[in-house]
């Protein structure tokens, strides 16, 4: 716990410094557009609050906070879909799956946690859409809803399982994961904005570049090397490999959510601008890094 508090204190100091630098730069150069950086600073403060809830408090408090995060993320995802009245029953059942998924985490039933959404919910979910609602738009609404549950509920719910799977190391592993994921996102964004030239998906997100990927990959791996002795029980090899895993998985998550949002919001530029800095932009990378990192640790280490 002492190490966790020290790490959070360092993060807090860094955030305060970044906020002060931002406001000083804004005052010195009032004509320059700092809107993107302003949004990023707000995002960092929001994620810092999540860090505190997820690592300093009782695992039940952490579980509830992450469950609420899943709910709002899924609601925002549904708000992007072009829906019919027939989809409302489907959405209701999807929301009801969230507390059930987190109940499996609370009681520590790993077997049900890992198959509930990918197997049972996938098999059950089409039924409310079929009964009395016909076939018009069936495949699109069901597949989009299932994909949202996989990312926003199944993927993110792994954040809550770290402290259940390993009470001794869970809080620090969660902090380690979230810090590296956010650092990877920020470095990738800054490099892509200021020096990035080769865009990966210019039609979906022009802010994602190959230079950003390479730069964030190297820096995230270096920070993983610095942090792993303090926050994890890993050896040198896996400490470095953790940075590689989180960087690649986070990049894939951010890229996937960007393309997904663009596909869902084709022809609705106003809604795209409204939603681009909401929950999905804060958790896009975590939908991938959380489950990937969790299962790799569980496979190679006995303490999980």
pLDDT above 60 for 130: yes
Per the CB < 8 A criterion, the answer to whether 211 and 191 are in contact is yes
- Helix residue ranges, H only, the chain: 2-28, 35-56, 59-79, 88-106, 110-115, 122-124, 126-130, 138-148, 156-165, 170-194, 210-231, 236-264, 269-275, 279-283, 286-300
| Beta-carbon-side half-sphere exposure of residue 299 (alpha carbons within 13 Å) | 7
- DSSP secondary structure code for residue 125 in this structure: T
Contact in structure between 192 and 211 (CB atoms under 8 Å): yes
The per-residue pLDDT for range 16-59, each reduced to its tens digit, is: 877 787 777 777 777 765 565 666 667 667 667 766 766 666 67
What pLDDT, in 10s, does the model give residues 218-261? 999 999 999 899 889 999 999 999 999 999 999 999 888 888 87
Q: Which two tokens stand for residue 127?
A: 């039924």
146 contacts: CB under 8 Å, gap ≥ 6: 121, 122, 125
pTM recorded for the entire structure: 0.84
Domain boundaries, the chain: 2-300
């Amino acid at each position: 716990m002492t190490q966790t508090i020290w790490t959070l204190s360092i993060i807090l100091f860094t955030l305060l410094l970044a906020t002060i630098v931002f406001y000083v730069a804004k005052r010195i150069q009032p004509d320059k557009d700092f809107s993107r950086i302003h949004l990023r600073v707000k995002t960092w403060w929001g994620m810092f609050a999540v860090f505190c809830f997820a690592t300093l408090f009782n695992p039940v408090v952490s579980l509830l906070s992450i469950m609420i995060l899943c709910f709002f993320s899924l609601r925002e995802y549904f708000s992007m879909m072009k829906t019919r009245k027939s989809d409302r029953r489907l959405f209701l059942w999807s929301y009801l799956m969230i507390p059930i998924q987190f109940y499996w985490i609370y009681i520590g039933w790993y077997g049900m946690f890992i198959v509930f959404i990918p197997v049972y919910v996938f098999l059950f979910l089409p039924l409310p859409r079929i009964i009395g609602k016909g076939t018009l738009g069936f495949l699109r609404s069901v597949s989009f809803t299932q994909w949202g549950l996989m990312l926003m509920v199944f993927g993110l719910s792994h954040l809550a399982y770290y402290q259940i799977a390993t009470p001794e190391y869970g809080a620090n592993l969660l902090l380690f994961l979230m810090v590296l994921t956010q650092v990877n996102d920020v470095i990738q964004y800054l490099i892509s904005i200021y020096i990035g030239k080769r865009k990966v998906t210019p039609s979906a997100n022009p802010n994602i570049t190959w230079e950003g990927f390479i730069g964030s990959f190297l820096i995230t791996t270096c920070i993983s090397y610095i942090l792993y002795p303090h926050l994890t029980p890993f050896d040198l090899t896996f400490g470095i490999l953790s940075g590689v895993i989180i960087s690649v998985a986070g990049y894939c998550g951010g890229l996937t959510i960007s393309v997904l949002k663009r596909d869902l919001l084709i022809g609705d530029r106003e809604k795209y601008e409204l939603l681009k800095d909401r929950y999905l932009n804060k958790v896009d990378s975590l939908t991938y890094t959380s489950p990937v990192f969790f299962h790799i640790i569980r496979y190679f280490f006995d303490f999980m």
